[in-house]
Amino acid sequence: MKKNKIITISILASLLLVPFMIPAAKAAPASYVGVAEEEYYKYDFTLNWASGHAAWTGFLADGMSDTIGDLFQTPTSERLGAVYGSWYQWNLNSMWSDTIDTILPENTSDILAVYGIPNNITYTEISTDVALWHIYGSEPGWVGSYNIVNDSASYALLSLYGGMAFSPMTLRWVAFAPNNMNWATFAATAQLGMTNYWGGLDPLAANTTVTALADGYSIYVPIAGFENNTKTITINATYTSTGVLNKTTFEYGADLLYTYELVSYEFDAVSPVTTSPGDFAVTWDYTGEKITWTATDAHAGNYTITRDGTPVVNTTPWVNGTPVTYNITDGLVPGDYTFEITFTDNYTNFIADSVVMTVGNYPDVTDPVITSNATDLVVNYDYTGQTFSWTATDANPGTYTIKRNGSLVVVSATAWTNSTPVIYNIGDGITASSTTTYEITFSDLVGNSVSHTASLTINTHPDPTPPVVTINPSDLSVLVGYTGESFTWAATDANAGTYTITLDGTIDVTATAWTSGTNVTYNIPDGLALGSHTFVITFSDTYGNTVSDSALVIINPAEDTPSAPPQIPGFDPLIVIGIAAISSIGLIALKKKKK
């Protein structure tokens, strides 16, 4: 196949989906535009299921889906094989709808230049809400954009000379023709494009014949016209008198493959749109309050307003884009009031919006009432876990604060609830011997307040003085193998209690009573290892006051033993001892003779 251009039908669909800005003011649509804002069109896509899909089986077996897709550059996902497969397997694409939202001003430009069609075309762009239904539910709507051209020849160009009719997925993007269609002109222009435009891409396209119908056109391809088709191809597309696609059919020989048909139309399917003022609150003595809504609709009708379900404005005409203001009656008593407006157009479509006005209560000049006061406390110096508790009531409870001694804020503004106790935990360890005061102030939402003061009195500590160590031992340094070593301490206190001794941080003597001024002797354990060892004694009195003292013992290695003097060579000590002994005996004998 000869191809000297690259064009894709899907480009047109993507261009048609480009978002646009809605102008603030606009003229009436051009005369060739056959649709109106708020119209609704719904299409049904139906496959021919007859004879076990025999019609489709032959079409697909001949490879026609890709042959046609290649000839007219149809995206893979929009070719008939993909359409059939998605419907047959998943039942997708069963119904499409378009609701006309906005008709833009007329324009003239070369909108088809991307397809190699340089003609300047006059057209009107329309915006629609597009939706899709299938057997499993519906797809979210999105914004669609279509161009309605001003004459028959331009519509042939917009339809890419009929090339978009070979798939319902591409034909739907040119579903809106001008209302002044001359189908003979369309057919002649489309035929010329099949021969020269599409035929320039592939000569097989020139085998297509486009014929005018009374209300549309027909496309015909003979057997083998597209090389592999074993049956003729016939497409019929008909339109309403306003230029809207009405029905298209695709036949392969005598077999109908599918229909794509307009099944539902509504002249006005769009409800009015309104602004939505916010809820608001006023004081009990309000005056001159009002609520304003502004609604838009191409076919504005009437509105009504109710207050808490009771009509306050009966049926009244409204004008598209013109504000509707309701003046609220003065003097409503405190409470909530719901004002609901309902805008209806001339075709029973409607929208409702409600606004709640809250009228505030009458002035509150009453202070909160403390129903349960905290009791003054007198505690010992070693107290723990003490609390104060207050309870108050008020129609509009607000916050409370607590101060100590009149100025120090110990609890900042905190919300309180009617009849629910406020409990303040007094910290442990306050040593002041004087009385400490705690003042709570309950405030309501309008500034009324009430206060109460409770006091904490702490009894003085009876003995704040720790024991005094009067005798403490010196550190010791001994040799390994020592025995019988000891330390002696003495302490004084008016309320002597117990002492403990630790050896290298481990308790060696548990709490033992001691007497003021009496020595405490501690026998150092024998056999301590080489090195230094720390002994700490802690004297405690009966009120928890303590004093500690430490002593150190250093265990040294044993001293070296002196060695024997060297011997004289040949000298034997035993001989010397023997000589000495003989000499002594001789001296004793001699002494006896002299006597």
Give the separation between CA 39 and CA 76, rounded to whole angstroms.
32
Q: Given pLDDT bands bounded at 50, 70 and 90, which one contains residue 570? A: low
369-458 CATH pick, 3.40.50.2300, 3.40.50.300, 3.40.190.10, 2.60.40.10: 2.60.40.10
Q: What are the two backbone dihedrals, phi and then psi, of residue 34, each rounded to the nearest 5 degrees?
A: -95, 5
- Identify whether the C-beta of residue 376 lies closer than 8 Å to the C-beta of residue 390: no
Task: Name the CATH topology of 468-556.
Answer: Immunoglobulin-like (2.60.40)
Confidence band, pLDDT 50/70/90 cuts, at residue 7: very low
Percent of the chain with pLDDT over 90: 71
Higher pLDDT, 471 or 433: 471
104-128 average pLDDT score:
95
Please check the confidence at residue 561 and state whether its pLDDT lies above 70. Answer: no
DSSP state of 230: S
Give yes or no for a contact between 286 and 314, defined as CB atoms under 8 angstroms apart.
Answer: no
pLDDT at 460: 76
Beta carbons within 8 Å of 103's beta carbon, 6+ residues apart: 26, 29, 33, 35, 36, 37, 124, 125, 126, 127
Task: Name the strands in the sheet holding 350-359, side by side, starting at the edge strand that comes first in the sequence.
Answer: 280-282, 350-359, 335-345, 300-307, 310-317
Question: Given pLDDT bands bounded at 50, 70 and 90, which one contains residue 49?
Answer: confident
pLDDT of residue 256: 93
Q: Tell me, what's the pLDDT at 119?
A: 93
Average pLDDT, the chain: 87
State the span(s) of the chain assigned CATH 2.60.40.10: 273-359, 369-458, 468-556
Predicted confidence (pLDDT) per residue in 200-255, tens digit: 999 999 999 999 999 999 999 999 999 999 999 999 999 999 999 999 999 999 99
Please state the φ and ψ torsions of residue 116, each to the nearest 5 degrees: 80, 20
**Confidence label for 587 from pLDDT (cuts 50, 70 and 90):** very low
Q: What is the DSSP string of 188-216?
A: HHHHHIIIIIIHHH-GGGGG-EEEEETTE
363 pLDDT band (50/70/90 cuts)? confident
The pLDDT of residue 130: 85
Q: Which CATH superfamily is domain 273-359 in?
A: Immunoglobulins (2.60.40.10)
In tens, the pLDDT along 397-410 reads: 999 999 999 999 99
- Write the DSSP string, 458-504: EPPPS--PPPEEEE-PPPEEEETT--S-EEEEEEE-TTEEEEEEEET
- H-helix or E-strand containing 177? none
For the chain, give the percent of residues with pLDDT over 70. 86
Residue 122 one-letter amino acid: T
With b meaning 16 or more CB within 10 Å and e meaning fewer, what string describes 287-318?
eeeebebbbebbbbbebbbbbeeeeeeeeeeb
Mean pLDDT of 156-164: 97
How far is the C-alpha of 235 from the C-alpha of 165, rounded, in Å? 7
